[in-house]
Structure 1
Amino acid sequence: MISRTLRTLIEEKPFVTCPGVFDLVSAKLADRTRADALYMTGYGAVASYLGLPDAGLATYSQMLDRVQAIAQTVHKPLIADGDTGYGGLLNVHHTVRGYEKAGAAAIQLEDQQSPKKCGHTPNRHVIPVKEMINKLMVANDARSSRDFLIIARTDARTPLGLDEAIRRGEAYAKAGADIIFIESPESEAEMRKIGSALDVPLVSNQLHGGRTPILSQDKLREIGYRMAIYPTAGLLAAAYALNNVYGSLVDDKPVQAPLYDFNEFSSLIGFQEVWDFEKKYASLEAG
């Protein structure tokens, strides 16, 4: 059970740290850390689940399956990427209801045109402000609890400039979004401008390999952010390790990369519970 809601964390903690998770193993590992909450990255979930790019190819049903599986596995609040809401206003209503029922603590909705793309890749386009405001109004009405948070993301910085992105952030906050996410600022100066312009909880996308500078949590808090997500760090680390290990195996070379202890991993994924169950009901099996 989740002991503290994401809303409580944002209200009570100076900064909320959210590692990105992309499958059930990464979720279990991140859940063991001192992280405040977890972020189900659309980029990573689509890559690991479907082997496809984060380019609007995953369906609502496929993403809901991932949300539910991860939320039921972890104890920390889970922020889930909801893309554009997977369609029009009725789709947004359905998506918010589905994500909340699946156990997510928050949904991230963005103002990209469909099909959407990863926020640190080119050729992204945004919908009109009014259209996104309408989506947020529907999302507000759809949620059954105010503890289920709505994160409004704008991708306007890249195609329309920082000032327009800030203007959209202000409009989305007025429309009822709990947290504002201005995607892909390209310098610390831009991030400072966002932090000083918006008097609402802000999340920084600390995407390793992306357009935005990777800053310390103290620095992010100083310039006005209340939360950070780290979508790609775990995914890229896992991919790098797997690439090296598989290459060594195929080339008949000793595996050089550190390996997670087999017994500890067996415990992580629940074998101890299986063994305890078998011991408890051994007499029934024998009969």
Structure 2
Amino acid sequence: MKSLSQRLKQDEILIAPGVFDMISAKVADSLGFDVLYMTGYGVVASHLGLPDAGIATYTDMVSRVRQIAEGTKTPLIADGDTGYGGLLNLEHTVRGYERAGATAIQLEDQEFPKKCGHMLGRNVVPLDDMLAKIRVARDTRDSDEFLIIARTDSRTTLGLDEALRRADAFAEAGADVLFVESPESEEEMRTICQRFDLPLLANMVEGGRTPVLSRDELQSLGYKIALFPGSGFLAAGQALKAVYTDLKETGSTAGSKVDFYPFAEFSQLMGFGQVYDFEQKYK
């Protein structure tokens, strides 16, 4: 299987669906994506039922990294938030994520407690603090194939020029991929892509601060990775609301217009075929 760094050398942009539990991970893995993205927002929402506001711990997150990495075949980018503490904590986080099976970790320059990158009220740490995080992450990883994705959230509060300045410094500090969060127009996205030689990541959040563009548009701008972190849980949440509304109002799903995943097909996806094969082999 090609590593993420090898896949980044392809001409085509990599589309990374957001996964947040083993159902979303199994479905995405079965469809042949080049890379998956473990979304912090989705994990916190599905695992804890809480907002993505710095509440989840390293333990919460690394356990989900391990589950998803072990249960799928596709390279996994994992949201590492701010590293869950100081530099020593960050070292522990990077080591833990790599050993859990992630192929890349995303680290950001927000103050703790952090917030979802498309919400207001985000503040960033001094630049030197983030550069130290990048250096620690690079020194800690066992393999250069484990990529460091450096994200700045400074665009919203400090402006695009400061975000570009920080991303320049991230590149000099040794980041493998640059992530300028929440540009607010296609023109800003173009400015970002024209600035850097390193691979760039776009974050496509339906209803967020950045325009959601097509794959061809993103590729023509120069992005190498496009995350769609909320697509899965927003669609799943809407489907759950629809079917539970039917059930509450009618007492049954008999007349529901929800498009259900075929039960037999879903059971195969969850591994029942292997169960029957095992039973046949050892009966």
Q: Normalising by structure 1, report the TM-score.
A: 0.96
Which of 2, 5, 8 aligns to 2:6? It is 8
Instruction: Give the corresponding residue for 1:285.
Output: none
State the Cα distance separating 1:34 from its structure 2 match.
2.9
> Structure 2: 5+ residue runs without aligned partners?
none
**Partners of 1:167 and 1:95 in 2: CA distance:** 26
Mapped to 1, the partners of 2:80 and 2:61 lie a distance apart of 8
Between 221-230 and 56-65, the greater mean CA deviation after superposition: 221-230
Q: In structure 2, what is the Cα distance between the partners aligned to 1:175 and 1:164?
A: 16
Report the counterpart of residue 265 of structure 2 in structure 1: 264
- Equivalent residue of 2:77, what SS? strand
Distance 1:279 1:265 in 2: 21
Amino acid at match of 2:36: L
Note if contact 1:184-1:212 (Cα within 8 Å) is conserved in structure 2.
yes
Q: Which amino acid aligns with 2:189?
A: M
CA distance in 2, matches of 1:278, 1:36: 33
> 1:226-247 CA deviation, whole Å, 9 max, x = no partner?
1100000111000000000011
Match of 1:101 among 99, 102, 109: 99
In the TM superposition, what are the counterparts of 1:150-165 in structure 2 within 5 Å? 150-165=148-163
Distance of 1:12 and 1:196 partners within structure 2: 19
Q: Return the alpha-carbon distance in structure 2 between the equivalents of residues 101 and 217 of structure 1.
A: 32
Deviations 1:121-169 (A, max 9, x none): 0100000000000010000000000000000000000000001001101
1:174 to partner: Cα distance: 0.7
Shift of 1:14: 2.6
CA separation in 2, counterparts of 1:273 and 1:222? 43
- Taking the TM superposition and a 5 Å limit, the aligned residue runs for 1:1-287 are 3-252=1-250, 254-282=255-283
Segments of 5+ residues of structure 1 without an aligned counterpart are 283-287
Q: Distance in 2 between matches of 1:65 and 1:226?
A: 28
Amino acid at match of 2:49: G
Query: Following TM superposition, by how much is the alpha carbon of 1:30 offset from its aligned partner in structure 2, in angstroms?
Result: 0.3
Distance in 2 (alpha carbons) for counterparts of 1:77 and 1:155: 25
- SS of the residue 1:72 aligns to: helix
Cα distance, 1:13 vs. partner?
Answer: 3.7
Residue identity in the other structure for 1:191: M
Q: Note the C-alpha offset of 1:277.
A: 1.4
Letter in 2 for 1:228: A
C-alpha distance in 2, partners of 1:150/1:11? 16
- Tell whether the 8 Å contact from 1:166 to 1:198 is kept in structure 2 after alignment: no
* AA of the residue aligned to 1:98: G
Q: Equivalents in 2 of 1:31, 1:247: separation in Å?
A: 30
Residue type matched to 1:243 in 2? K
1:83 deviates by 0.2
Aligned partners of 1:27 and 1:70 also within 8 Å: yes
What percent identity do the matched residue pairs reach? 57
Displacement of 1:250 in angstroms is 1.1
Please give the secondary structure, in 2, of the residue aligned with 1:11.
Answer: coil
Aligned residues: 280
Q: Which secondary structure does the structure 2 equivalent of 1:12 belong to?
A: coil
Q: Which deviates the most, 201-210 or 9-18?
A: 9-18
SS of match in other structure, 1:221: helix
TM-score (norm 2): 0.97
What residue identity is the alignment partner of 1:128? P
CA distance in 2, matches of 1:192, 1:34: 29
Does 88-97 or 4-13 show the bigger shift?
4-13
